[in-house]
Amino acid sequence: MLLIKNLKCYYNKIMAIKGVSVSVRKGELISLIGANGSGKSTFLQAICGLLPGWEGEISFDNSSLRGFEPPAIVKKGISMVPEGRLVFSSLSTLDNLKLGAYTMYRKKHHNYVKEDLEMVMNLFPILRDRSDQQAGTLSGGEQQMLAIGRALMARPRLLLLDEPSMGLAPLLVEKIFETLTILKNKGLTILLVEQNARSALKIADRGYVLETGSIVLQGTSSDLLEDVEVKRAYLGRDYGEFYDGRA
Amino acid sequence: MHEINSEEKAQFQLERLQSTLNRAYKNVLFHQNRQNIDGISGGIERFRVESIEDLATFPFMERKHLGNNYPYGLFAVPLKDIVRIHTAPGTTVNPTVSGYTRQDLQLWREMVSTALAASNVSVSDILQINLDPGLANWGRDYKDGAETIGASVIPNTSLSLEKQLMVLKDYKTSVLITTPSSISQLADYILLKENLDPKDLNLKTLILTGEPVDSEFRNLLQQNFHLTTWLHYGLSEVPGPAIAFECREHEGLHVNENHFLPEIVDPETGQPLPEGETGELILTTLTTRAFPLIRFKTGDRARFIKGTCKCRSPFVRIEWFNDRIDNMLNISGVKVNQELVLFQIEQALGFVPANCCFLKKRNGARNYLEVSLSVDDRLFSDEIKVLERLMKTVGNKLQEHIGVPVTIRLKEKKSFENRAGLVV
């Protein structure tokens, strides 16, 4: 469904993504894990058309995304939940969700909007209670739910999430990841970018490990969860230094 | 992998290749130096593979590199992550040492079980492993792979022909894993010496590994023993006996491209050869964590078989030929390097005799290496005991380092003229 070959992204002359190849098949939940500054957000921004000037190939359903602006990419069926939620603070929860359905209105699919609002409210019942509340006054977890709900209102076929667990309490993280599993089970294809490797890999089919702009490991999520390198770097277990003197 | 198309296969191979190269670059100085290239602006740039074809411009990795980086120089993970260490005879003064993480062992188990499953091995089989001590690592891998399938495994132990037959018969072995050399000896013993009717055996599957096998011999085995034979290909450097394996069609060996990227190159120029042409098999590991091999020269002669197999597997097929590209001798699956033998002779004697000849030979149950040395003033002694002791010392030293039985013969210089075998 999403095929990325040798993606290179630059900030001025500095190469932030150094020839990354990643594939996401229909119905899969893929986790891209990496530390701060490894290039995870840059990678998503390139897919969404927010970072022009990338090199390589990005294709979605066999058609290249080169040259497409973000609205056109949303129309193609890709929605992103950005890092830090970025909800419209002064608008109500309901209006934020309706804004997510912008492309549906443009396509004259007004009937979908009501249906999708119901779907989102069922997925996150708290948003129904907060529907008239200003989004800026919601808690971090509620804002994250709103951001996901807003992305779903565009009826994406591929959902991209940039660190949805950031700044959330463990219970809320669990709730968010449970929701992603529900969405995956409904057939939605998901590319999840996360620092929280354990939670991300637990729900994923496969995973990629990004380090300073390059993929250094990839495999099934169960394989990566058991990998000592991943454990050492991302799951908080101390395995000592390279060539630790055992010999 | 059987459900993916060629485009998907190319994508995932590229992804795995890139991550292998990135990790090798990050963690192994040897690989880092090889990936550093002179940049346009004069500085050092990193070589990056953007397609599988790009790999063809990358330098080869040879057996000598494994010895030169003895023991842990090519490990791509910290030693604490290593759960198994294997040693194989190398081509230099040092042996080849390879390491495995827990993940690597899991992958090997999966690889071997995939190959065994393709040979119809199932939970209802009793599987006996009979490999020479030089292939002990493979014996362990086969045991693990067969246990993964759930077969009842009789692990590899060194047994006489009599005992092998006893186990085969009494334990009702249905699958036997062995080398063509070993089965040849066992078959002779069963049919000629014991005069046993093969119908008295429960054997239905014979998996041959370590050496190529000719079709005439296979047919003979299949007819006489009423069984099906399957050929597997492996490398001793990354002890994996099932890198390539036959499917039910028996039309070549499928390389497990989930984990290995094969190339066939012209041994003279190093350039990739068109599909169907015979050359040297080059392998790159795609999933190995601890010990990545990048464009490793196997020394094995092979060719890609054109077209898709009737079994519809997307794994490419190779035909594996008996003769080698390099000057190594394959003795019951163990690769014996001529330079290493010469080096050990020099270590034992203090010099290399003017003439040496190496021959693969067989004596009853065992294959062995016959080393003939020309006698000159430096080697000569008028005491037979001294000469015998010398031969024994050299033989033991060689056996210890190359992993196969060795017999030393002392001969007159003139007997080396027009000799067959490797003469130096």
Contact B22 A228 (CB under 8 A): no
Calculate ∠ Cα B261-B265-B270, nearest 5°: 115
d(CA B110, CA B105): 9
Residue with tokens 């637990």: A202
Are A174 and A209 in the same domain?
yes
Task: Please judge whether A19 and B289 are an interchain contact, meaning their C-beta atoms are less than 8 angstroms apart.
Answer: no
pLDDT tier at A247, thresholds 50, 70, 90? very low
Residues A1 and A40 in one domain: yes
Give how many domains chain A has, as a whole number: 2
Burial class (CB in 10 A: 0-12, 13-18, 19+), B147: middle
CA distance A3 to chain B (A): 8
- Whose CA is closest to B110, among B152, B139, B144? B144
Nearest residue in chain A measured CA to CA from B258: A219
- pLDDT score of B134: 79
Whether residue B170 lies within 8 A of chain A, CB to CB, comes out as: no
Looking at the structure, tell me whether residues A2 and A121 fall in a common domain. no
Last residue of a domain, one of A108, A124, A155: A155
Judge whether B84 is closer than 8 Å to chain A, CB to CB.
no
Instruction: Find the closest chain A residue to B71 by CA distance.
Output: A247
Cβ contact B237:B70 at 8 Å: no
Name the pLDDT band for A240 (thresholds 50, 70, 90).
Answer: very low
CB-nearest partner of A243 from B12, B23, B79: B79
End position of a domain, from candidates A97, A130, A155? A155
- As a whole number of angstroms, the distance between CA A139 and CA A6 comes to 39
- Would residue A246 count as lying in a domain? no
What is the pLDDT at residue A234? 78
pLDDT (0 to 100) of residue A105: 66
* A34–chain B nearest CA distance, Å: 14
Q: Are residues A104 and A73 in the same domain?
A: no
Where among A108, A132, A155 does a domain terminate?
Answer: A155
Inter-chain residue contact B50 with A244, CB threshold 8 Å: no
Asked if A247 is an interface residue toward chain B (Cβ–Cβ < 8 A), one would say yes
- Chain centre to alpha carbon of residue A205: 15
Q: What CATH number is attached to the domain comprising A14?
A: 3.40.50.300
Nearest Cβ partner of B102 from A3, A20, A226?
A226
Q: Residue holding tokens 């296979």?
A: B218
* Tens-place pLDDT, residues A203-232: 999 999 999 999 999 999 999 998 888 888
A10 and A38, same domain (yes or no): yes
The residue written with tokens 């359905």 in the block is: A101
A131 domain residue, yes or no: yes
Residues A56 and A173 placed together within one structural domain of the fold: yes
Higher-pLDDT residue of A170 and B278 is: B278
The reply to whether residue A216 touches residue B11, judged by beta carbons under 8 angstroms, is: no
Query: Would A244 be classed as within a structural domain?
Result: no
Q: How long is chain B?
A: 424
Of A18, A21, A244, the CB nearest to B14: A21
HSE-CB of A112 using CA atoms within 13 angstroms: 17
pLDDT of A135 over the 50 cut: yes
**A7 and A70 together in one domain:** yes
C-alpha distances (whole Å) from B252 to each of B133, B277, B321, B332 are 27, 14, 11, 21
CA angle B108, A3, B292 (to 5 degrees): 30
Neighboring chain B residues of A244 at a CB cutoff of 8 Å? 78-80
pLDDT in the model for residue B400: 84
Query: Order of strands across the sheet with A2-11?
Result: A14-24, A2-11, A55-60, A63-64
CB contact under 8 A, B72 and A247: yes
CB B288 within 8 A of CB B235: no
pLDDT at residue A107, as a whole number: 65
Whether B371 contacts B408, CB under 8 Å = yes
Through-space distance between the first and last CA atoms of chain B, rounded to whole angstroms: 47
Contact status, residue B227 vs residue B208, Cβ threshold 8 Å: no
CB < 8 Å to A217, chain B: 19, 23
Taking a C-beta distance cutoff of 8 angstroms, is the pair B264, B280 a contact? yes
* ipTM, interface predicted TM-score of the complex: 0.88
Between A81-85, A118-122, A142-146, A201-205, the lowest mean confidence (pLDDT) is in A81-85
Mean pLDDT of chain A: 89
Whole-number pLDDT of residue B1: 45
Please give, rounded to a whole number of angstroms, the shortest distance from the CA of B44 to a CA of chain A: 15
Which residues of chain B carry a pLDDT beneath 50?
Answer: 1-2
CA dist., res. B104 & res. B405, Å (int): 31
Cβ pair B79:A247 closer than 8 A: yes
On whether both A149 and A169 belong to a single domain, the answer is: no
Rounded CA separation A213/A216 (Å): 9
Do residues B334 and B371 lie in contact, with contact meaning Cβ atoms separated by under 8 Å?
no
* Structural domain for A69, as ranges: 1-77+156-238
What distance in Å separates residue B120's CA from the closest CA in chain A? 26
* A192/A204 same-domain check: yes
The pair of structure tokens assigned to B292 is 């990545």
pTM: 0.88
What domains does chain B contain, in order, with CATH numbers? 100-326 (3.40.50.12780), 337-423 (3.30.300.30)
Whether residues A179 and A58 fall in one domain: yes
Q: How far is A181 from chain B (nearest CA, A)?
A: 24
Q: For A237, how many CA atoms within 13 A lie in the half-sphere containing its CB? A: 14
Q: CA B365 to CA B362: how far, in whole Å?
A: 8
Work out the minimum CA distance from A87 to partner chain B, whole angstroms: 35
Lowest mean pLDDT among A31-35, A42-46, B353-357: B353-357
